[in-house]
Structure formats: structure tokens, C-alpha cells
């Protein structure tokens, strides 16, 4: 069964990013339609797949990571931080596959990749 998972690592502080709000949307005709939300746990992961089974269909998706609020709550910097919401758009072709999209983040930079 196909699924979409994610996790967030605070690489500036060398720890999982706890409490990051994440949304997943499907992008159709240039508009994003929100499908689900989650908040990262003590391990920087969400407790269940963001999407799985019949909810994961071929198409373009967007994960939006609300990291500005995370870093502000952690006292890392002011609310008008450099990074606020990080959108990552990606395609899903094989709905039987596992799509893992992690985020490695600091208050000033980020990286992502397709994990396993």
C-alpha cells in the first residue's frame, strides 16, 4: 500500500524538530487543496502517514512545513524570521510506493530528498 511520510530535523541544534505544523495538499490546475494536517512528535515525525492507500493518487502534492513558528517558539529568533513556511512540491506516479519526504532545517536554510 502506498503512503506519504515525513520527518523534520533541526540541523542547527542537532535534534528532531518537535511541534512543527505540516499540511499536505494536492495541486490541481495551479491551486492547492489541503488534504491533511499533522504536528511532529518528540522524534520529529508525524504519528501516522500523511496520506496512504486510496488517498494517495497520481499527481502533484505539496507539503508545507511551518518552521517559522517552530523556531520562534524555541527562542531561536524573532517571529519575522528568514524562513516561515517551506513548501515542497513533488510528483507521485506510483501509488503503491512509499514516498518519504524529510526536511532538514535551520533558521536560515533547508534541504530535502526522497528518503526510504
C-alpha cell at 92: 507521485
- In tens digits, the chain (116 residues) has pLDDT values of 899 999 999 999 999 999 999 999 999 998 999 999 999 999 999 999 999 999 999 999 999 999 999 998 887 666 566 899 999 999 999 999 999 999 999 999 999 999 98
pTM for the structure as a whole:
0.94
Total structural domains in the chain? 1
CATH number at residue 81: 2.60.40.180
Q: Are 40 and 74 in contact (CB under 8 A)?
A: no
In which domain, by residue range, is 70 found? 3-112
Amino acid at each position: 500500500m502506498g503512503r506519504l511520510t515525513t520527518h523534520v530535523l533541526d540541523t542547527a541544534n542537532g535534534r528532531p524538530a518537535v511541534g512543527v505544523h505540516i499540511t499536505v495538499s494536492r495541486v490541481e490546475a495551479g491551486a492547492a487543496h489541503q488534504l491533511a494536517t499533522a504536528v511532529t512528535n518528540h522524534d520529529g515525525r508525524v504519528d501516522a502517514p500523511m496520506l496512504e492507500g486510496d488517498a494517495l493518487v497520481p499527481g502533484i502534492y505539496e507539503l508545507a512545513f511551518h518552521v517559522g513558528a517552530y523556531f520562534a517558539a524555541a527562542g531561536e529568533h524573532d517571529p519575522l524570521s528568514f524562513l516561515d513556511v517551506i513548501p515542497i512540491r513533488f510528483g507521485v506516479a506510483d501509488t503503491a510506493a512509499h514516498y518519504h519526504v524529510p526536511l532538514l532545517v535551520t533558521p536560515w536554510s533547508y534541504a530535502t530528498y526522497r528518503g526510504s
